[in-house]
Amino acid sequence: MNKREGEGWSRKTLDAAQERDVSANPSSPVIVAFKVFQQELDTKHDKYERLVKISRDVTIESKRTIFLLHRVANVPDAEDVLNEAEGKLDGVRQKIGQIAEELRGEDIYQFHKAFTPGIQEYVEAVSFLHYIRHRSLISLEEVNARLVFMRTDKAEPKGSAEAAPSGAHVLTFQVTPSDYLLGVADLTGELMRMCISSVGNGDIDTPFQLSQFLRQIYDGFSFIGNTGPYEVSKKLHTLRQSLGKVEDACYTLRVRGSEIPKHMLADLFCSRTAHIDPEEGVA
Amino acid sequence: MSVTEMFSYIQGFLSADQDVREDIRKVVQNLEQTAREILTVLQSVHQPSGFKEIPSRCAKARELFCTVRTQLADLKTKFPVEQYYRFHEHWRFVLQRLAFLAAFVVYLESEALVTREEVAQILGIEVVREKGFHLDVEDYLAGVLIMASELSRLAVNSVTAGDYGRPLRISNFINELDSGFRLLNLKNDPLRKRYDGLKYDVKKIEEVVYDLSIRGLAKEPESGGDK
């Protein structure tokens, strides 16, 4: 029973050791019971791993969508980019559909840790797109309303008992309020970047709109305070920094904007942010 | 929906969530109190005079498990049953302790490993998730591991009390348990960490058995409690 050696053993010897243990007393009730536990735990861990994998895919695709959306200001036809982003998000939703499928009949919260990063990233992407289109905050209901999936039961004989004989059933995925909140907190970072780059493009209306919107979100988070999950208070700090940057940008625009001809404004601001950025990167 | 409306909606959800947690915490505190009482009752088996009292102590402990059952029934009413894992961490610790206590009682009575079904029955809860408030398999296993370290202590104390047969029986039992746990593919989680401690309990008991055998004390007829 030397465990320290056991850790260095190859998989094969370990299996052999397991067999020896079992063959020592294969019919003992303890061994029989533990075989059941083995199966149960393995099933659970496998499901967890599958969910982690899907969640990572969701994260990656959502991040790409966000990068794509940052290009909106640089291209002549914004609508094309927005439609492309919408298409990407449809792909992400398909993946979330897979999560919903894995979670059928399970307790969502049992596996919540496996997929929460992906869902937060998705909320960030979808709310960013929504803001660019409508200049408003997407609501939790609107997020959840898009996460309804139709599935046909042919592939899954298991589900056919509960579903209607027609073969189609509805799967839903509910984003939890906490995930929504954390996704929105991440959104503010993207909005800050959007603000700075829009000034770079000579757009002087967007920063003011953004600062107003960010202030509303900041007020909202202050209203929630520490009733929220632990992560919220951490993100509140970053949110404050983002808001500070955006407000500074608006301030500069207001003060210097009246002194300098409009066509030179972009140059002025670009050089200013270039000076600021390296320091902020360190801080 | 404006930003402010959205945030006050979320705030409402969060404070409702906190209220539920507050309720759960109160019940769990009571449960912990009862669990401590049961442990105190059972601790007396480590006393030299305790071996004769084992049946009466177990009976007393089983009485206290009635209180546990009503308290767990109370806990069940505090949250929607399908959200078990949302609040799981609030009672995970105490449920593991209770699983340990139930396992210990059953071991003292019959010297056999309690099944998950028996624990669930003693605590008045379900085995499978679909049926309601249940005993998670990992919590059950954690409880069994706590019992293993309690048994290694019992082996030492039973020698002190002059019961030389018991350590041998405990040794067989723990070895079987160890083989059982080795069938599991544990992840790097709290259960795995606790399982890593099992080898020290095994070692400790083997040392006791060794001490007894080289002194020829291990041959004692298995009468049990022959002080």
Per-residue pLDDT of chain A (283 residues; tens, 9 = 90+): 444 444 444 555 555 555 444 445 677 889 999 999 999 999 999 999 999 999 999 999 999 999 999 988 777 788 889 999 999 999 999 999 999 999 988 888 999 999 999 999 999 999 999 999 999 999 999 999 999 988 765 444 444 444 444 567 788 899 999 999 999 999 999 999 998 888 877 777 888 999 999 999 999 998 888 787 888 888 888 999 999 999 988 888 888 765 655 555 555 555 555 444 444 443 3
CB atoms within 10 A of CB A12: 8
Question: Measured between alpha carbons, how far is A277 from A264 in angstroms, rounded to an integer?
Answer: 20
Give how far A240 is from chain B: nearest CA, Å.
Answer: 17
A34-152+169-175 homologous superfamily: Translin; domain 1 (1.20.58.190)
Residues forming beta bridges with residue A172, ordered by sequence position: A148
Identify the pLDDT of residue B110. Answer: 92
- Out of A112, A177, A213, name the one closest to residue B13 (CB): A177
Q: What is the 3-state secondary structure (H, E, C) of chain B?
A: CCHHHHHHHHHHHHHHHHHHHHHHHHHHHHHHHHHHHHHHHHHHHHCCCHHHHHHHHHHHHHHHHHHHHHHHHHHHCCCCHHHHHHCHHHHHHHHHHHHHHHHHHHHHHHCCCCCHHHHHHHHCCECCHHHCCECCHHHHHHHHHHHHHHHHHHHHHHHHCCCCHHHHHHHHHHHHHHHHHHCCCCCCCHHHHHHHCHHHHHHHHHHHHHHHHHCCCCCCCCCCCCC
Which residues of chain A lie closer than 8 angstroms to B203, CB-CB? Answer: 1
Whether A34-152+169-175 and A176-259 share one fold: the answer is: yes
Subunit contact B180:A137, Cβ cutoff 8 A = no
Pairing of strands A168-172, A148-152: antiparallel
- We find that the CATH architecture of domain A176-259 is Up-down Bundle (1.20)
Give how far A91 is from chain B: nearest CA, Å.
Answer: 27
Give how far A150 is from chain B: nearest CA, Å.
Answer: 23
> What residue ranges define each of the domains in chain B, with the CATH number in brackets?
1-135 (1.20.58.190), 140-218 (1.20.58.200)
Question: Measured between alpha carbons, how far is A165 from B95 in angstroms, rounded to an integer?
Answer: 42
Closest chain A CA to residue B4 = A220
ipTM of the complex: 0.87
Q: Is A40 helix (H, G, I), strand (E, B) or coil?
A: helix
**Greater model confidence, A1 or B38:** B38
In chain A, what are the domain boundaries? 34-152+169-175, 176-259
List the structure tokens of A162.
Answer: 């509960």
Cβ atoms of residues B44 and B57 within 8 Å: yes
Residues forming beta bridges with residue A221, ordered by sequence position: none
Which residues of chain B lie closer than 8 angstroms to A232, CB-CB? Answer: none
Q: If you search the block for the tokens 């202050």, which residue do you land on?
A: A222
